Amino acid sequence: MKTTISLVLVLALVVGLPAGVANADFTFGTPTNLGPTVNSSTWDLGACIPADGLKLYFTSRRPGGYGGADLWVTTRDMIDDEWGTPVNLGSTVNSSAWDVGPSISADGLSLFFASGPGRGGYGGRDIWVTTRATTEDDWGTPVNLGPTVNSSTFDNSPSISADGLSLFFDSMRPGGSGSGDLWVTTRPTTDDPWGTPVNLGPTVNGPASDALPGISADGLALFFSSYDDEPLRPGGLGGSDIWVTTRATVSDPWGTPVNLGPPVNTSASDFGQSFSADGLTLYFTSNRPGGSGSYDLWQAPIIPIVDFNGDGIVDGADMCIVVDHWGEYYPLCDIGPTPLGDGVVDVQDLIVLAEHLFEDVNDPTLVAHWALDETEGSIVYDSVAANDAVVIGEPVWQPAGGAVDGALAFDGIDDYVSTPFILDPSDGAFSVFAWLKGGAAGQVIISQTGGANWLLADPSEGRLRTSLSRPAGGRSAPQPLISEFVITDGNWHHVGFVWDGSNRMLYVDDVEVARDTQVGLESSEGGLYIGAGKNLEPGSFFSGLIDDVRIYDRAITP
């Protein structure tokens, strides 16, 4: 009944809601190379794509150009078609200088780029724009944006906002924080001249190279990288990495940048990013293995996480979670518009969810899953990441469990399962869930060597508890989180711990039973023990059945 009522309620809600911090729950799929038709044996980089998704403008040093690097375009007839052979934009647009870093306006009538040295202008490289009357016309003669925007140094990599009123770029002009900074120039209307550029400030810009900006369609997320030949921003994975900074509204300051992480970033150089208009594809540049030249164009699918409760299917239960948080800032189900959401749970998220209803989910955030339904042997197998776990002692598999067809029985003396490293609790949001039956006060369900007991029965009364807590230090010692729910009553229970980056939450039978706020969690890089405490201390070994252990690198709502 709840599912039916919720669905009707959602379809009836058509309201305007204020924007909050954009923070959708999504992941990147495996990047793929755009292939030898688009990429050449030399440099191909810095792609941008107009709203119709049928053209891809980029920079290339391939033969057939007019200068050090030229602007090219590849086209396709339909979104699902392959890209065609690239065509040079011609001598009207390209010069004998380096013409690089294209960014196209939302209407497809203005193409901003950087050019120099040697084209003329005001510095080593300037920002220019070429325009056309309709999308069927040829591009016109480029116009320099003038000395208000351009400086006597290098001004590079423009990125035009969807409304055409903000132009982000990187510059080496005085007044910055490092070897190159991100700046923005604005104008009241598209008919007005550009104003004096403003530095994005020390929260975004650091002492290294901050460059190659790409603004999202809603103006709430700015992606950027470093130049390979300049000092790299620290905290990356190798060469230049892609980072993102966000803000609550276009009037708010930018937040602390976050590295996009793998699989987009690698130990190679990854930069020059832009999104398709539908928010489902990230285009970027990389010199990782598997390309055609020194730098190639790549794409990565952007996958919204729509299985909010982690049960493997998108259904009415996920719809209910949307309804329960309607109008709130709730990042778990702020999935629309893709890829970054809009900071509030509303009809945009419902639209994305509806596209996936009743689909089975291969959840990329499920980083470990031990079904514990093997019938023999001394190893349990992780069905997700092949992180096989060694069984210590002589636990036996039972024919019926709490979630699937089997469970592992522990004797409470010396039985446990030892796994390799899965995740560091301090790295960000994650969730861990398991089924159990039995156990006694003080016994541990899941722990991390060198870290904390993740899930256990409280020593006093057998209530569900976690010892995952903030790092030691300060005036008071870190404290466990203890629920009022006794889990050692001999019945099957589905227990879990969820960390969303700010809150610790305990769940029993898919109901939240305890919550508090923490500044962070203590770091640990040890493997896990299933059925024993972090130090294998006497009294911590579990006596009963444990089944279907799942770990996600995101916060879920069961």
Over residues 315-336, the pLDDT tens digits come to 999 999 999 999 988 878 888 8
In contact, 490 and 477? CB cutoff 8 Å: no
87: burial class by Cβ within 10 Å (0-12, 13-18, 19+)? exposed
pLDDT over 70 at 339, yes or no = no
Q: What are phi and psi of 503, to 5 degrees?
A: -125, 140
In contact, 285 and 272? CB cutoff 8 Å: yes
pLDDT over 80 at 557, yes or no = yes
pLDDT over 60 at 285, yes or no = yes
Mean pLDDT of 328-356: 84
Candidates 3.40.50.620, 1.20.1090.10, 2.120.10.30, 3.30.450.40; CATH matching 26-303:
2.120.10.30
pLDDT over 70 at 15, yes or no = no
Whole-number Å distance between alpha carbons of 4 and 317: 10
Whole-number Å distance between alpha carbons of 413 and 291: 55
Instruction: State if pTM tops 0.85.
Output: no
pLDDT over 70 at 526, yes or no = yes
User: In the CATH hierarchy, which fold is given to the domain comprising 2-17+307-354?
Assistant: Type 1 dockerin domain (1.10.1330)
Residue that wins the pLDDT comparison between 28 and 97: 97
pLDDT over 50 at 302, yes or no = yes
pLDDT of residue 152: 95
pLDDT over 60 at 16, yes or no = no
pLDDT of residue 247: 83
Over residues 178-237, the pLDDT tens digits come to 789 999 999 999 999 999 999 999 999 999 999 999 998 888 889 999 988 788 888 888
Whole-number Å distance between alpha carbons of 156 and 179: 13
**CA angle centred on 157, ends 154 and 160, rounded to 5°:** 130
pLDDT band (50, 70, 90) for residue 374: confident
Domain spans, the chain? 2-17+307-354, 26-303, 366-552
pLDDT of residue 93: 97
pLDDT of residue 166: 97
Mean pLDDT of 464-492: 92
Q: Which amino acid is at 338?
A: T
Over residues 42-58, the pLDDT tens digits come to 999 999 999 889 999 99
pLDDT of residue 24: 58
DSSP structure class, residue 332: G
pLDDT over 80 at 452, yes or no = yes
Cβ-based neighbours of 66, under 8 Å, separated by 6 or more? 88, 91, 94, 95, 96
pLDDT of residue 404: 59
Over residues 67-89, the pLDDT tens digits come to 999 999 999 999 989 999 999 99
pLDDT of residue 405: 67
Residue that wins the pLDDT comparison between 435 and 3: 435
Strands 55-60 and 389-392: unpaired
pLDDT over 70 at 271, yes or no = yes
Mean pLDDT of 163-169: 97
pLDDT of residue 222: 92
Candidates 2.60.120.200, 2.60.120.1270, 1.10.760.10, 3.40.630.30; CATH matching 366-552:
2.60.120.200
In contact, 324 and 340? CB cutoff 8 Å: no
pLDDT band (50, 70, 90) for residue 91: very high
